[in-house]
Amino acid sequence: MSRNDEVATRLEEFADLLEATGVEYKPTAYRRAAENVRDHPAPIEGLAADGEDAVAEIDRVGDAIAAKIVEYVETGAIEELDELREELPVDMAGLTAVEGVGPKTVGSLYDALGISDLDELEAAAEAGEIQEVSGFGAKTEQNILDNVPFARESRERTRLGDARPVADDALAYLADLDPVESAEVCGSIRRWKPTIGDVDLLVASEAREPIVEAFTDWEAADATIEAGTGKASVRADGTRVDLRIVDSDEFGAALQYFTGSRAHNVAVRNRAIDRGLKLNEYGLFDVSDVDGEGAEEADGDAGGDGNGAEEPDSTRAGERVAGESEDEVYRALDLDPIPPDLREDRGEVDAAAEGRLPFLVEPGDLRADLHTHTDWSDGGFSIAEMARAAEERGYDYHVVTDHATGPGMVGGVGLDESDIEEQAAAVAEAADEVDIPILHGIEANIDADGGLATDDEILAALDLVVASPHAALGQDSEAATERLIRAVEHPHVDVLGHPTGRLINERPGLDPDVEAVAAAASANGTAIEVNANPARLDADGEFVRAAIEAGATIAVDTDAHAPRELDNARYGIHTARRGWAETSNVLNARSLNGLRSFLL
């Protein structure tokens, strides 16, 4: 975590505590300041060293907040914040993880019932105590009961978008150490799962101890969880990071083993057993000449407690057949090397055996982003600034899709019909300032029943229409399915944006019948978006797979509200890969002409 992040997090905590104690306006000021501190290009500790005035130069940071920032950088604490923490000793992050519970609710429930964490919240709701508190009712109480389990899980797993940068930093740091011969991320991070339990890293080196030492000394490591001879674990940015160190000739086998998933490993290991071989974290071994080896199948109980996935034999007995590289391990089992994104035991082993693994889409394949925002709605940058950022990323064209008005658009954020007409002229003007074509699109809102709030004539005049759900996300599965099918059937809708509206670790979103929606999308020539915002990753891998099997097209979009958010595309690409998406399945991997013919 950079110091800017750290300071921003403190300011946000300050805001939550102020809000919980009933203070008005100030919380908003602290949150705005936090956002700008986080985004500020210069390190905050440098500014703080120059004094309060330098800090107050940051947009939205006033004198009072600047003084607190300097206090924090100098002393490591903010006295007023510590007082607030004492006044309200609650697990704010845990409690506000429950949908519908904000800092104010936390404050009220602490005052009335002394609730300070999730367990106490759940117990009070179960006992019917919450509905007795003034301002609360039976419905709120039920809502809390329904949402506690999701909140609890969300506290245990980290979003890929938060963990991946930690893994990248750790990897760069380790790869740079002298005795390190190879280094890789493994585990769920390497498979690009939307959420991860912990970060796993693997290093090949003869020198175990110096590497463990360097790892626990890594500047981002906030605490050491364990430090052994061949492995160590630290906590960085709230996430556990596991490191294992192996010999070079075992690196490939270890990488394969620790990348998982467990279910994939069981399938691969059984294939080894069928060939009289033994696969474990040390290598692939021929055990035909070893007594009592090779007979036992690993059973399929790969989920659950993990017992079924234990090694039948985790020794180096037998003659080594492969182990130095991962590809070599797969090839020795007559398999094409399987990309990590596919390793979930969903048919990838058979596909690799039969030479029909997909030609997965790659980050470099994207030629545009089809879903982006500007300061015409809730984005922070002009049309030209966003288009220039797209151009800088090597894209061939750019599509602006600001929000239209409609349900879910609060505070006048969305564009009405006349705004859209006005924006068309502004898009044409901005196109003169950049060297790539800019298309004028819109992100329309899908009503609860699947209709669009924006006029047909207006939609018809636009280059591209993304339609997404933003409200009524708690409806039942049947209603959600009908809603999304009606939306993809709309003659002017080109892309179904973030189809479920989920926010990872925040709200589950819609739960439609994905096969039915995919079939309708395919039949109507509407693309299904993989929204690459790491809070969304929506559609997810399973939805993508259903879409592709139904013959539908995929769009990988960042939904960027700022230039740097265009860099989230990699999360979307890997989510699409988890759904077996090939380059040819992806709409914005096509040229502008290719896109235009899809839009006809």
Shortest distance in whole angstroms from residue 498 CB to Zn ion: 6
Point out which span in 29-37, 234-242, 318-326, 375-383 binds Ca ion (CB under 5 A). 234-242
Shortest distance in whole angstroms from residue 200 CB to ligand DGT: 5
Based on CB atoms, which residue is closest to ligand DGT, 39 or 311? 311
Which positions from 419 to 458 touch Zn ion by CB under 5 A, shown as an x/- string?
----------------------------------------
Q: In angstroms, rounded to a whole number, what is the distance separating the alpha carbons of residues 198 and 235?
A: 10
Shortest distance in whole angstroms from residue 155 CB to ligand DGT: 14
Return the axis-axis angle of helices 208-217 and 160-175, rounded to nearest 10°.
Answer: 130
Based on CB atoms, which residue is closest to ligand DGT, 155 or 486? 155
Shortest distance in whole angstroms from residue 235 CB to ligand DGT: 14
Number of residues that bind Zn ion (CB under 5 A): 1
Binding Ca ion by CB under 5 A: which of 132, 198, 489, 511?
A: 198
CA torsion, ordered 119, 122, 124, 129, to nearest 10 deg: 160
Binding Ca ion by CB under 5 A: which of 187, 283, 340, 541?
A: 187
Q: Which residue is nearest to Zn ion (CB)?
A: 468
**Residue 19 phi/psi, 5° resolution?**
-65, -40
Which two tokens mark 201?
């890293």
Q: In angstroms, rounded to a whole number, what is the distance separating the alpha carbons of residues 331 and 268?
A: 11
Q: In angstroms, rounded to a whole number, what is the distance separating the alpha carbons of residues 547 and 541?
A: 10
Contact 408, 596 (CB under 8 A): no
Based on CB atoms, which residue is closest to Ca ion, 188 or 475? 188
Contact 511, 483 (CB under 8 A): no
Contact flag: residue 468 with Zn ion (CB under 5 A): yes
Q: In angstroms, rounded to a whole number, what is the distance separating the alpha carbons of residues 76 and 99?
A: 32
Q: In angstroms, rounded to a whole number, what is the distance separating the alpha carbons of residues 463 and 439?
A: 6
Contact 587, 370 (CB under 8 A): yes
Closest Cα to residue 106, out of 123, 90, 85, 84?
90
From the list ligand DGT, Ca ion, Zn ion, none, pick the one residue 260 interacts with, judged by a Cβ distance below 5 to 8 Å according to partner type. Answer: ligand DGT
Q: In angstroms, rounded to a whole number, what is the distance separating the alpha carbons of residues 264 and 41?
A: 42
Which two tokens mark 104?
């104010």
Shortest distance in whole angstroms from residue 323 CB to Ca ion: 21
Based on CB atoms, which residue is closest to ligand DGT, 103 or 187? 187
From the list Zn ion, ligand DGT, Ca ion, none, pick the one residue 171 interacts with, judged by a Cβ distance below 5 to 8 Å according to partner type. Answer: none
Based on CB atoms, which residue is closest to Ca ion, 9 or 224? 224
Strands 199-204 and 277-280, bridge-based pairing: unpaired
Based on CB atoms, which residue is closest to Ca ion, 241 or 576? 241
Point out which span in 99-107, 183-191, 409-417, 454-462 binds Ca ion (CB under 5 A). 183-191
Residue spans of alpha helices (H) in 247-380: 251-259, 262-274, 326-332, 348-353
From the list Ca ion, Zn ion, ligand DGT, none, pick the one residue 306 interacts with, judged by a Cβ distance below 5 to 8 Å according to partner type. Answer: ligand DGT
Point out which span in 76-84, 446-454, 462-470, 568-576 binds Zn ion (CB under 5 A). 462-470
Instruction: Give the residues across from 555 on adjacent strands.
Output: 529
Based on CB atoms, which residue is closest to Zn ion, 253 or 528? 528
Instruction: Kindly list the distances between the CA atom of residue 36 and the CA atoms of 43, 58, 380, in Å, as whole numbers in the listed order.
Output: 12, 7, 12
Residue ranges in contact with ligand DGT by CB under 6 A: 187-188, 193, 196-198, 200, 257-258, 260-262, 265, 306, 309-310
Based on CB atoms, which residue is closest to Ca ion, 187 or 318? 187
Number of residues that bind Ca ion (CB under 5 A): 5
Q: In angstroms, rounded to a whole number, what is the distance separating the alpha carbons of residues 582 and 548?
A: 9
Shortest distance in whole angstroms from residue 198 CB to Ca ion: 4
Contact flag: residue 200 with Ca ion (CB under 5 A): yes
Based on CB atoms, which residue is closest to ligand DGT, 260 or 450? 260
Shortest distance in whole angstroms from residue 305 CB to ligand DGT: 10
Q: Which residue is nearest to ligand DGT (CB)?
A: 260
Instruction: Kindly list the distances between the CA atom of residue 205 and the CA atoms of 53, 208, 232, 251, in Å, as whole numbers in the listed order.
Output: 49, 7, 14, 9
Contact 518, 543 (CB under 8 A): yes
Contact 220, 170 (CB under 8 A): yes
Based on CB atoms, which residue is closest to ligand DGT, 169 or 391? 169
Based on CB atoms, which residue is closest to Zn ion, 108 or 468? 468
Q: In angstroms, rounded to a whole number, what is the distance separating the alpha carbons of residues 198 and 381?
A: 35
From the list Zn ion, Ca ion, ligand DGT, none, pick the one residue 468 interacts with, judged by a Cβ distance below 5 to 8 Å according to partner type. Answer: Zn ion
Point out which span in 136-144, 155-163, 448-456, 465-473 binds Zn ion (CB under 5 A). 465-473
Shortest distance in whole angstroms from residue 280 CB to ligand DGT: 9
| Strands (DSSP E) found in 307-357 | 319-322
Contact flag: residue 281 with Ca ion (CB under 5 A): no
Shortest distance in whole angstroms from residue 33 CB to Zn ion: 26
Which two tokens mark 194?
């939307």
Contact flag: residue 242 with Ca ion (CB under 5 A): yes
Q: Is 476 exposed, middle or buried (0-12, 13-18, 19+ CB in 10 A)?
A: exposed
Q: In angstroms, rounded to a whole number, what is the distance separating the alpha carbons of residues 137 and 331?
A: 62
Closest Cα to residue 562, out of 377, 437, 435?
377
Contact residues for Zn ion (CB under 5 A)?
468
* Chain positions contacting Ca ion, by CB under 5 A: 187-188, 198, 200, 242
